């Protein structure tokens, strides 16, 4: 029986996982981190992370374009984007709820509103206020 195929990213591999080529900027940081990322200055670690993130996003974007999928729009303020999305969903909900109602549900709502209106008109408090047009 032959040995199983060992992939470069398996745990215990002396060379560690094989990463894609992310460009010269990331390669420079990888050389600086060859002794371990913990030995790097915190500002350099942050810069390294930003360089990796930028390179990966660039690769993902080019893969999407190559696949024929339009890339998602770049959003500068994610919080504002989420708030706008939620606001639009909340504003659209009443219309969607109304469209989903069946005619018998509309009739039931109408009957309830008319019964409530008649109850208010028959109450003694409404007679004390006077007529509808403000004249007694």
Given a cut of 50, the residues of the chain with pLDDT beneath it are 1, 5-9, 136
Q: Please state, in angstroms and rounded to a whole number, the distance separating the CA atoms of residues 55 and 36.
A: 21
Q: Please state, in angstroms and rounded to a whole number, the distance separating the CA atoms of residues 3 and 103.
A: 70
Contact 30, 1 (CB under 8 A): no
What pLDDT is stored for residue 1 in this prediction?
Answer: 46
What pLDDT is stored for residue 17 in this prediction?
Answer: 60
What pLDDT is stored for residue 71 in this prediction?
Answer: 65
If phi > 0 it is left, if psi is from -120 to 50 it is alpha, else beta; for residue 12 that is left
Residue written as tokens 């040995």?
A: 3
Q: Please state, in angstroms and rounded to a whole number, the distance separating the CA atoms of residues 26 and 56.
A: 10
What pLDDT is stored for residue 7 in this prediction?
Answer: 46
What pLDDT is stored for residue 126 in this prediction?
Answer: 64
* Tens of pLDDT, residues 35-60: 888 888 899 999 999 998 899 888 88
């Amino acid at each position: 029986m032959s040995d199983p195929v060992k992939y470069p990213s398996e745990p215990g591999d002396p060379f560690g996982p094989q990463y894609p080529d992310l460009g010269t900027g990331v390669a420079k940081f990888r050389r600086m981190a060859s002794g371990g990322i913990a030995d790097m200055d915190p500002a350099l670690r942050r810069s390294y992370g930003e360089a990796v993130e930028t390179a990966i996003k660039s690769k993902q974007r080019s893969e999407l374009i190559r696949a024929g999928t339009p890339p998602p729009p770049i959003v500068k303020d994610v919080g504002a984007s989420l708030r706008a999305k939620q606001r639009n969903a909340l504003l659209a909900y009443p219309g969607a709820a109304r469209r989903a109602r069946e005619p018998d549900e509309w009739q039931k709502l109408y009957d309830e509103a008319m019964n409530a209106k008649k109850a208010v008109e028959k109450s003694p408090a409404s007679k004390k206020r006077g007529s509808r047009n403000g004249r007694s």
